[in-house]
Amino acid sequence: MTEAVPLSLCAREPRVPADRLVAEMVPPPRFDSVRFETYVPDRNQPSQAEAVTVLSSFAAGLGGAHATGSGRRRWFTRKPAAPAAPRGVYLDGGYGVGKTHLLASLWHATPAEPSLKAFGTFVELTNLVGALGFQQTVKTLSGHRLLCIDEFELDDPGDTVLVSTLLGKLVEAGVALAATSNTLPGKLGEGRFAAADFLREIQGLSAHFRPLRIDGEDYRHRGLPEAPAPFSDEQVTRASHATGGASLDDFPQLLEHLARVHPSRYGALTDGVRAVCLTDVRPVPDQSTALRLVVLADRLYDREVPVLASGLPFDRLFSDEMLQGGYRKKYFRAISRLTALARDAKGLVEQ
């Protein structure tokens, strides 16, 4: 059998036009076919079934003509004396409880053409603003019925002000909002920057959402065996040559390469890649590198790309200091997702 020549992520420096960023604001391949009916609530966690009920009603309420002007509050009818109701839902919970599944299900269930609905991660949303400019982003998204934001996280004051202003403009235009995060909206930014200095912006963001708590354990590891141990360099290299469309990179070199590619292009970095093979996995040296790796892990998980690796297991990527800091939930999510992808990659190695 003729061996395939593996690809290299380090040899790629993709350029992503702005129109592609807009066109790709749909649920990623892993969540393309999910629906509320395919979500399996944990019977021991009633908040999961409740979330399905609330979100189903929310989606049904988004039918009809796009609300603008004085009619924009039609989704949340209220008596004149009542306080203003939030115009979005915010799914809060730990990693692996199915928040993205539910968010994508909401997108699919909303009765509107795909071109009137947008779905993207928080990073992708801020990257869209960078590509289009603020005013053009407002104009592009204002005609939408729904904006879904996955992995809502505020990592710096600039993002806080930017997103607060953007969402305020979209709400005024009648766009409904839905978001997921591991942090309640009033607590965004804690432990990462001087959140108190930007309390007004953070509280403004929180006012747009009705928090919906989803409890439970990580479904990716619920009842499953432990993650596979790393393979040898030889096994990983051999598997990369035997698997069509696989990439092969030295892990430290890949981390260096990620610093030269904007995170908005990490999805394009993996275009056409059927499996990622990594040698010499070792602890991530610093927080900036760690955050870039988190974004790559998210894109690989979204695209269902298995990851075969040698070196250290993925639960030893981040230092204890990182796992106790303000970005700990990001790092735990990355460990969870990379572990699931490592499990998917076991079949690539000849037994």
pLDDT band at 22; cut points 50, 70, 90:
confident
Q: In angstroms, rounded to a whole number, what is the distance separating the alpha carbons of residues 78 and 83?
A: 8
Instruction: Check whether residue 112 and residue 41 sit in a common domain.
Output: yes
pLDDT exceeds cutoff 90 at 314: yes
- For residues 121-126, average pLDDT: 86
Sign for the pseudo-dihedral over CA of 249, 250, 252, 257:
negative
The pLDDT, as a whole number, for residue 203 is 64
The reply to whether 21 falls in a domain is: no
**Percent share of the chain, pLDDT over 90:** 54
Do both 146 and 231 map to the same domain? no
Summarize pLDDT for 84-109 with one digit per residue, the tens: 456 789 888 877 788 999 999 999 99
23 in a domain, yes or no?
A: no
| Residue 25 covered by a domain | no
The domain boundary residue, chosen from 170, 193, 213: 213
Which residues make Cβ contacts (< 8 Å) with residue 224, sequence separation at least 6? 343
pLDDT in tens, 63-79: 765 544 433 444 444 44
Q: Which residues of 101-121 are buried (b: 16+ CB within 10 A; e: fewer)?
A: bbbbbbbbbbebeeeebbbbb
DSSP letters of 73-101?
Answer: TGGG---TTSPPPPSEEEEE--TTSSHHH
pLDDT, position 252: 98
* 241 in the same domain as 209: no
219 in a domain, yes or no?
no
Mean pLDDT of 333-342: 92
2: in domain: no
Structural domain count of the chain? 2
Highest-scoring range by mean pLDDT, 3-7, 128-132, 269-273, 320-324: 269-273
User: Does one domain contain both 236 and 173?
Assistant: no
Contact 330, 257 (CB under 8 A): no
Same structural domain, 39 and 186: yes
Whether residue 164 is found in the same domain as residue 285: no
CATH number for position 182: 3.40.50.300
Tens digits of residue pLDDT in 147-199:
999 988 766 666 778 888 899 899 999 999 998 876 545 554 444 434 444 44
Phi and psi dihedrals of 317, rounded to 5? -70, -40
Task: Based on the fold, state whether residues 255 and 159 are members of the same structural domain.
Answer: no
The candidate with the shortest Cα–Cα distance to 136, out of 24, 27, 25, 19, is 19
Please give the full DSSP string across 40-85, using - where no structure is assigned: ---TT-HHHHHHHHHHHHHHHTT-SSPP-GGGTTGGG---TTSPPP
Range of the structural domain that residue 205 is part of:
33-213
Residues 271 and 195 reside in one and the same domain: no
Query: pTM to 2 decimals?
Result: 0.77
pLDDT reading at 276 higher than 90: yes
Say if residue 128 is in the same domain as residue 257. no
On the 0-12 / 13-18 / 19+ scale of CB atoms within 10 A, 99 is buried
Amino acid making up residue 130: G
Q: How much is the mean pLDDT over the chain?
A: 84
Q: Which one-letter DSSP state was computed for residue 231?
A: B
State whether 75 and 207 are in the same domain: yes
Considering the domain boundaries, does residue 3 fall inside one?
no
In this structure, the answer to whether residues 238 and 208 fall within a common structural domain is no
pLDDT at 122: 85
d(CA 116, CA 327): 33
- Per-residue confidence band for 219, with pLDDT thresholds at 50, 70 and 90: low
Q: Give residue 195's pLDDT.
A: 40
Using the 3D structure, point to which of 151, 178, 213 is the last residue of a domain. Answer: 213
Of 184, 213, 242, which marks where a domain is finished?
213
